[in-house]
Amino acid sequence: MAHASEYGQPLVLLVEDDPQDALIVQELLEDSSLAVRLEWARSVDEARRALVRLRPQCVVLDLGLPDAYEFSALSAVIEEAGDAAVVVLTGLADEGAGLAAVTAGAQDYLVKGRVEADWLGRTLRYAMQRKQAEQAAVALHAERMRAKENARLERGLLPTPLLQSMPLEVASRYRASRGSATLGGDFFDVVESDDKTVHAVIGDVCGHGPDEAALGVCLRIAWRALVLSGVTGAALLRQLERILEAERGGSEIFVTMSTLVLEPDQRTVRVWRAGHPGMLLHDGDQVSFADPGHSFALGLPVEADWHQDVLELPQGGGLTLYTDGLFERRLPGLPPRWLGEEGLLELAARHAHLDGEHFLDAVIADVESITAPEAPADDLAVVHLRWKDPS
């Protein structure tokens, strides 16, 4: 048998109890055009251990092992084979069993006594290629399903603003965490109620993954339903916390959130903040930082009382709301330095003269350009709200 030290060649595990048949397979492989490393297991149990230890690229399995019944050996090998292709060996009178084995998951079959060297080599080579093609197809299907699921979640996390008559411009952006194909739990929403009051929310479920994204969708939809039914302020946050505690996967999950009411006078903004970062206040070509102060996130084991803060916007003024993925960025160099909200304000000031869409694009581009290339980057959601100038 060949040794595992012969690198660059696929490893084939032969599962055969008959030493004479094993020797025939070895000699046929040596005479074939396929160079492999060959290991031998004499039983199903020995094959299981070898599969875990060696992780071969191909398994050649005799269906007539003494410690197997019907297709139990094939089932056991496929269960442990992982990425390995499986080719079964049958007797002259059992060719139908080979076809059944392919139906049950094997890549191909060979009939003992009818195998030639080149045929054996081609069969194993094609079996390994077929297995790779199958895995690629499965991975592609999974990726497409993930993309569809992400699209559904994204529509739930980042909805179309529900505005009727108020002259409010809304621009938003979302970026998934670096190196991830899965959405996180960042969400926002903007709705106008019948009294011409505009409500806005931005939130962030701690953690990252489909469960957090689904929880973000749940809270965002609950927020919209509660707001449209007339619930606002601290009462709104208390109801959302009850929903969070009922829907979250564990008591360690918490949510930061800011919920706002923009009054019809287009100047007054009432803010309730639950552990969420501050916001940027826009006044013409100037931008400043508005921090409503310390508050507790939703879902913490503390008795929280969220208070109201009131902001006065200038004529035609606006706000930019964001999650912490926008400013919790590590900068290049040592010792480690972080952008932080003060650094974000400096970047935002460079682009304060731009309209909402271009402002968000410019700020995000600046943030991403100065982030250390090797540093992780969390999901980010950003929403820019600005009253249209009557002139």
* CATH number assigned to the domain covering 11-138: 3.40.50.2300
Task: List pLDDT tens digits, range 109-166.
Answer: 988 888 888 888 899 999 999 888 888 888 777 767 666 666 666 666 678 888 989 9
pTM: 0.66
Alpha carbons 151 and 143: distance in angstroms, whole number: 12
Residue labelled with tokens 């339903």? 225
Task: Report in angstroms the alpha-carbon separations of 352 from 30, 284, 334, 362, 387.
Answer: 73, 8, 30, 10, 15
Residue labelled with tokens 């803060």? 309
Alpha carbons 306 and 298: distance in angstroms, whole number: 10
Q: Parallel, antiparallel, or unpaired: how do β-strands 108-111 and 85-90 relate? A: parallel
Alpha carbons 366 and 142: distance in angstroms, whole number: 34
| Long-range CB contact pairs, 74-78, < 8 A, 24+ | 74/101, 74/104, 74/105, 74/106, 75/104, 76/44, 76/47, 76/48, 77/15, 77/44, 77/47, 77/48, 77/51, 78/104, 78/105, 78/106
The CATH architecture that domain 158-387 belongs to is 4-Layer Sandwich (3.60)
The domain segmentation of the chain, as residue ranges, is: 11-138, 158-387
Alpha carbons 219 and 274: distance in angstroms, whole number: 14
Answer whether 11-138 and 158-387 agree in fold. no
Highest mean pLDDT out of 99-103, 199-203, 208-212, 290-294: 199-203
Task: List pLDDT tens digits, range 181-229.
Answer: 556 789 999 999 999 999 999 999 998 778 888 899 899 999 999 999 9
The total of other beta-carbon atoms located within 10 Å of residue 249's CB is: 11
Burial of 312 (0-12, 13-18, 19+ CB in 10 A): exposed
Residue labelled with tokens 């931008």? 287
